[in-house]
Amino acid sequence: MDKSLVTFVGVAHPWMCDVMGHLNVRHYAAMFDDASFQLLGHIAAEATHPGARVGWADVRTEIDYKDEIEAGSLLTIHSHVVKMGRSSVTFEQVMSGSLDGIVHAICRTTSVRFDLSARASVALDEAMRERASSLMAE
């Protein structure tokens, strides 16, 4: 059973490509970042918004580039949880071609639930843990 969540659907526009005609690294990062807001929002059951007192702080991100992306490519990112800590979630995001399923990149990130006023981590509550568990890869 697939426990991933579709967290991004988009296109590689020509203006996103580098001088070699491939999606530039800065745009991979932006797409993965947008996808992480979706995943973490589903886990927290809330959107992060200006004025929020609690949010998420990424503490580690690693991207493996698997296959080049050319202008016009349709892209989908599926995200799933890999593990949970007291206040953290480690998740993997797989960027693939929307039509052909070719995996272009895989991003693994650890993000910590964070009190923006106290500048300290916050434990995941039971409901968050249950939602994250429902998205955990087997």
Domain residue extents for the chain: 5-134
Distance CA 7, CA 91 (A): 12
Looking up tokens 């639930």, which residue turns up? 113
Token pair belonging to 38: 């979706």
Q: Is the pLDDT of residue 46 over 90?
A: no
Supply the pTM of this predicted model.
0.92
Strands 74-84 and 88-97 come out as: antiparallel
Residue 106: closest CA among 22, 19, 35: 35
pLDDT in tens, 78-132: 999 999 999 999 999 999 999 999 999 999 999 999 998 899 999 999 999 999 9
pLDDT in tens, 1-28: 478 999 999 999 999 999 999 999 999 9
pLDDT of residue 1: 45
Backbone angles phi and psi of 53, in degrees to 5? -95, -20
Which residues are CB-contacts of 49 (< 8 A; sequence separation ≥ 6)? none
pLDDT of residue 63: 98
Domain 5-134: which CATH number of 3.10.129.10, 3.40.50.170, 2.40.50.100, 3.40.50.1220: 3.10.129.10
